[in-house]
Amino acid sequence: MQQPELNNQQPVAEMSMVDHLQELRRRLIIASLAVGVASIGCFYFAEDLMRWITRPAGKLYYLNPAEGFFAYMKITVFAGFLLALPVVLYQAWAFVVPALTRSERKLAIILVPVSVVLFFVGLTFSYFLVLPVALKFFMGFANESLQPLLSLGQYLSFVLSMLLPFGFIFELPLILFVLAKLGVISSAFLAAKRKIALLLAFVAGGVISPTPDLFGQVMLAVPLLLLYESSIWMVKTLLKK
């Protein structure tokens, strides 16, 4: 007997809570294995990765015997996560896809690769533009009686806390575009909320900034505001909303 055609706006299948938990567990295991395997592969290039990530600061020091080892581990795991990011996002998409309608699935096929690209654009922007400016500013307080002695571990923590937020910040246009596509917001709505966006940008900059000062706050808030304005243009131009 021929099955009735599913409505385009209805999920294709329903799963029980136990099925959801088992599926989530399977997806998490696959994502974790992908990160683990990628990290092991990146360990072969640990020297090159260390040279690349410490280049903006120059010579660094480690202050206890284990700090150098754990610094290499931190770099390889971070690089492994970036290398496995497409797999991680695919597993997340595969987990939620049973709850999506057919039209939402078509949209997700485009959004997942775009989100990966935007994340790496944010990392690149932070590494080449934001990180050198931040280091120059903070190193500018050195004088004849006050010289910086940069610890390898502390430097890596600082760099990662600068890179990762920008990776997520650059997802903002995509998030707002999806909300506009779903009819939740419009360009007029976004334009009317500029003052609130300004306030939230500086609040977010203060929360996720690696340093509790106005400079770090501004360095994060300004790109957020620029991305917000570009989102308004995208919604208005591409979606005509």
Give the tens place of pLDDT for each residue, 68-127: 888 899 999 999 999 998 888 888 887 777 766 777 677 777 888 888 899 999 999 888
Mean pLDDT, rounded, of the chain: 81
Output the pTM of the full model: 0.78
Using CA atoms, how far apart are residues 117 and 87, in angstroms rounded to an integer? 13
DSSP SS3 for 61: strand
- Separation between Cα atoms, residue 92 and residue 88, nearest integer Å: 6
Q: What are the tens digits of pLDDT across the range 152-165?
A: 888 888 888 888 88
Residues 6+ apart with CB under 8 A from 158: 210
Q: How far apart are CA 45 and CA 40, in angstroms?
A: 10
**pLDDT tens, position by position, 202-239:** 888 777 766 666 776 788 888 888 998 888 888 888 77
Q: How far apart are the first and last CA of the chain?
A: 44
